[in-house]
């Protein structure tokens, strides 16, 4: 049981299960964690690395305070990840639409740019020809 206590970690985003089991083990093995400082170290050590440092930096005084801080941080992580999922989904949808509805989209765009360049060059030539045609010639 002592090994389980020291090796207990949060699985995924399931903080409730971690907290419940941690508290159970703390009650069942009171000699394993002789003081609140030690229990805090073990609790924070089982948190995901993404929030472990933040909880430590906030220096909670009690286990309950550490749990509250951890819950807030985990909620932020979950919210951030869900927003990332929405943004990733949008990007994938746009990419799929581009490639499935118009397989030559990028080629067509490049061809259009080439065609535009060609027309611009023709227009310049015509303007130059008009300029030469409009210039009066000298009679010798």
Residues 12 and 76 placed together within one structural domain of the fold: yes
Query: Do residues 30 and 59 both lie within one domain?
Result: yes
The angle, 0 to 180 degrees and rounded to 10, between the axes of the packed helices 63-101 and 49-57 is 140
**What pLDDT does 35 receive?**
85
> For residue 58, is it within any domain?
yes
**Total domain count for the chain?**
2
Q: Are both 117 and 59 inside the same structural domain? A: no
Asked if the structure places residue 88 within a domain, the reply is: no
Tell me the CB-side half-sphere exposure of residue 71, using CA atoms within 13 A.
Answer: 10
Question: Is 96 domain-assigned?
Answer: no
How far apart (Å, rounded) are the C-alpha atoms in residues 92 and 72?
30
pLDDT given at position 72: 94
d(CA 46, CA 31): 19
pLDDT score at 110: 55
Same domain, 124 and 74: no
Spell out the per-residue pLDDT of the chain, length 140, in tens: 888 888 899 998 899 999 999 999 989 988 887 788 889 999 999 999 989 999 999 999 999 999 999 999 999 988 887 777 666 555 555 555 555 555 555 555 555 556 666 666 666 666 665 555 555 666 65
Question: Does 94 map to a domain?
Answer: no
Is the domain of 77 the same as that of 14? yes
Pair (66, 9) in one structural domain: yes
Q: Are residues 12 and 59 in the same domain?
A: yes
Q: Is there a single domain that holds both residue 11 and residue 78?
A: yes
pLDDT value for 30:
83
**Model pLDDT, residue 138:** 62
**49 found inside a domain:** yes
- Phi–psi pair at 13, nearest 5 degrees: -110, 15
Instruction: Please tell me the predicted confidence (pLDDT) of residue 80.
Output: 83
User: What six digits make up the tokens of 101?
Assistant: 């509805």
pLDDT for 90-114, tens place per residue? 555 555 555 555 555 555 555 555 6
Task: Estimate the crossing angle of helix 15-28 against helix 63-101, to 10 degrees.
Answer: 150
Residue 29 sits at φ, ψ, to 5 deg, of: -125, 65
76 and 116 inside one domain: no
Token code pair at residue 50:
């993404």
Query: Which structural domain range is residue 25 located in?
Result: 2-82
pLDDT at 33: 79
Is 128 a domain residue? yes
Nearest Cα neighbor of 50 from 16, 9, 86 is: 9
């Amino acid at each position: 049981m002592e090994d389980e206590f020291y090796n207990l970690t949060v699985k995924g985003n399931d903080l409730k299960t971690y907290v419940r089991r941690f508290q159970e083990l703390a009650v069942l093995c009171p000699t394993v964690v002789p003081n609140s400082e030690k229990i805090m170290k073990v609790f924070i050590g089982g948190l995901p690395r993404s929030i472990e440092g933040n909880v430590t930096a906030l220096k909670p005084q009690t286990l309950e305070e550490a749990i509250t801080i951890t819950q807030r941080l985990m909620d932020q992580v979950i919210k951030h990840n869900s927003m990332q999922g929405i943004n990733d989904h949008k990007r994938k949808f746009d990419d799929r639409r581009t490639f499935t509805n118009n397989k030559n989209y990028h080629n067509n765009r490049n061809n259009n740019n080439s065609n535009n360049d060609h027309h611009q060059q023709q227009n310049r030539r015509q303007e130059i020809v008009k300029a030469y045609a409009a210039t009066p010639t000298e009679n010798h």
